[in-house]
Amino acid sequence: MKNKIIVLLFSVVLFFVSCVNNSEPGVKTRLGGTWHCVENLTIPPYHRTYLVEINPLISDSTQYIISNFYASGENEFVYSKFTGSTLKITDNQSIGLSQKIFRSGSGVVSADYNYIKLNYLVFDDLTEVQVSAEYTR
């Protein structure tokens, strides 16, 4: 009987210890998730905001898909690579139904994974557009 009580107490303690959240509030440990994007462009509308979704590829933990990149639509995406604190978007990708071409770009991810600062070039129909974007959670 004593052994059963000890096992039961140990199980209860183990349950509560395993449920403790050891991370600080507001600190993320991953890049994946929904982000609020604020873009500044060199052509009209010059400034816009929208949501993007960043998801890791299962086959490579450094590769990510950014959905709705450049406000292209939630079913459209670009590939990117995350190394250290740098997020590099794969060059020369077609974006969206209008086939805008993403030229090049990269940015820095904050240590707490709550902020990304990106700069990139997009060939938007007849114009090359320089974009400065800030992603926040």
5 in a structural domain: no
DSSP per residue over 100-113, as a string? Answer: EEEEEEEEEE-TTS
11 within a domain of the structure (yes/no) = no
| Domain CATH number, residue 96 | 2.40.128.420
In a domain, 50, yes or no: yes
Q: Are 60 and 82 in contact (CB under 8 A)?
A: no
How many independent structural domains does the chain possess? 1
**Domain region containing 88:** 30-136
8 found inside a domain: no
**pTM (2 decimals)?**
0.76
Per-residue pLDDT of the chain (137 residues; tens, 9 = 90+): 666 555 445 454 444 434 444 344 444 558 999 999 999 999 999 999 999 999 999 999 899 999 999 999 989 999 999 999 999 999 999 887 767 888 899 999 999 999 999 999 999 778 899 999 999 99
